[in-house]
Structure 1
Amino acid sequence: MFDTALSANDLVFLAKGAGITIVVTAISVVIGTILGIIFGVIRVQLGAVLSAPLTLFLDIFRSVPLLIQLVLANAFVGMVLQLQLSGFFVACMVLSLYTSAYCAEIVRGGIDAVPTVTRRAARSLGMSWGQDMRYIVMPLATRVALPSWIGLALGVMKDSALVYVVQVTELLKSTQILITRLQEPLFLLLICGAFYFIISFPLARFGGYLEKRWSND
């Protein structure tokens, strides 16, 4: 017979950690997506040469491991800037920039996928640049970029497990605390995985629903 020392309070503790994971992910994905759209449009409009400094900035966030970014950002804020910012704020800041770096590339690829002749036709009809972007480019680019964006959002959710290094007790850190106390690693990791599945499954299915609906239009 299976026996465990896990209590209802421990499950509540894990649920709170899952809540932190959801909040950190939501904030980072929303801010990162907004910044990514801005950065992606700038890269397309300025071209490869003029946008080179921005591209280098984004490449740094794509190339340096997230764990190192979190440690360096936390040290920079505390030791160099002498600011007393919470680990939660630092985690959201770094994850937002990390997300924006990948989202910018997704946006750039989506915009580049829109046929040039389509954009020229829109401008020949008297549309302004803003109207062209709003009514022609963005709707078409969104269909191309959505699968990659869904994957990015799910990746950020899983990468948020690294924010424990800045003293944020998210889902995985909560699980590690319980493992240390209860000494039931396999069972607790199974529960942790179930929580991650519950969090990510609706987003994955929603993305699949949108893809299927748009493909039938």
Structure 2
Amino acid sequence: MQFVLIDQGFHWSDAQFLLVGAVHTLMVSILAGAIGTIGGIMLGWLRHASSGVRIVTAPYVDITRSVPLIIQLILVNSALSMSGTGFSTFWLSIIVLSSSMTVVTSEVVRGALSTVPYAYIRAARSLGIGYFQTLVHISAPLAFRTGLSAWIGLLLGLTRDTALVSVVGYVEFMKSAQILISRTNETLPLLLGVGLFYFVICYPVSRYSAHLQKGLAS
């Protein structure tokens, strides 16, 4: 009896497999980040403007902030499976990640709006400037300067958290690398590649954020 050894080395087709995983990671990061940021701005403004909204939304905000993201992914996946809802793993990942991003962004927005000196708002009101004009021209620009750094940190954290969506079966970059590691046993090169990938994405954003903040402060 002859045994045929299967070539378990790294092939060029594996590079394409990693590229697809990288695209998946970027798609989830961009879409969940955009949805979460828009939703977070709206929710944060409403929670700052109305104590009633703050009370009603408090359970959702507290639970989402307290429960680890990986558990949220598993619970939502289980709930959708039991309900028979036909969500793809991509959209399931978007729902959970954008929900988390919405909540943490809302807290940044609410906190940033709370730092706007009330004297500025009162002065605008005394000049006959309406609420929304005051919000757009005074409160929002000042809050943007205060909350920008924290929001960038949330965005970078979201990009790294995309590695967790593999628990629901979505094959993003980290999952692609894990599959290849199990086949090729090339652990160190692949993990170094994963680390480099996230560094290439996150570092320029971080540096641009620092440059932007310096420009706003001057």
- Give TM-score, length-normalised by structure 2: 0.93
Contact 1:22-1:199 within 8 A present in 2 as well: no
Relative to structure 1, the CA distance from residue 25 to residue 50 in structure 2 (aligned partners, 3 Å threshold; closer, same or farther) is closer
Counterpart amino acid of 2:15?
A: L
SS in 1 for 2:29: helix
Question: Structure 2: any 5+ residue segments left out of the alignment?
Answer: 1-7
Q: State which of 95, 119, 122 in structure 1 corresponds to 2:121.
A: 119
1:26 aligns with 2:41: no
Counterpart amino acid of 2:13?
A: N
Contact 2:46-2:53 within 8 A present in 1 as well: no
Contact 1:43-1:55 within 8 A present in 2 as well: no
Deviations 1:83-139 (A, max 9, x none): 111000010001001001100110011001110001111111111111111111111
**What CA distance in whole angstroms lies between the structure 1 residues aligned with 2:148 and 2:58?**
22
Deviations 1:141-174 (A, max 9, x none): 0000000000000000001100001111101000
Relative to structure 1, the CA distance from residue 109 to residue 188 in structure 2 (aligned partners, 3 Å threshold; closer, same or farther) is same
Question: Structure 1: any 5+ residue segments left out of the alignment?
Answer: none
1:52 aligns with 2:61: no
CA RMSD of aligned residues (A): 1.3
Aligned residue in 1 for 2:3: none
Report the number of matched residues.
Answer: 211
**What CA distance in whole angstroms lies between the structure 2 residues aligned with 1:50 and 1:213?**
35
Q: State which of 60, 78, 87 in structure 2 corresponds to 1:75.
A: 78
Contact 1:88-1:166 within 8 A present in 2 as well: no
Larger radius of gyration: 2
SS in 2 for 1:6: coil
How do residues 161-176 of structure 1 correspond to structure 2 at under 5 angstroms?
161-176=163-178
How do residues 35-114 of structure 1 correspond to structure 2 at under 5 angstroms?
35-47=39-51, 51-80=54-83, 82-114=84-116
Counterpart amino acid of 2:60?
A: F
Deviations 1:179-204 (A, max 9, x none): 01110111110011111111112211
1:158 aligns with 2:150: no
1:11 aligns with 2:1: no
The 4+ residue runs of structure 1 with deviation greater than 6 A are: none
Counterpart amino acid of 1:155?
A: G
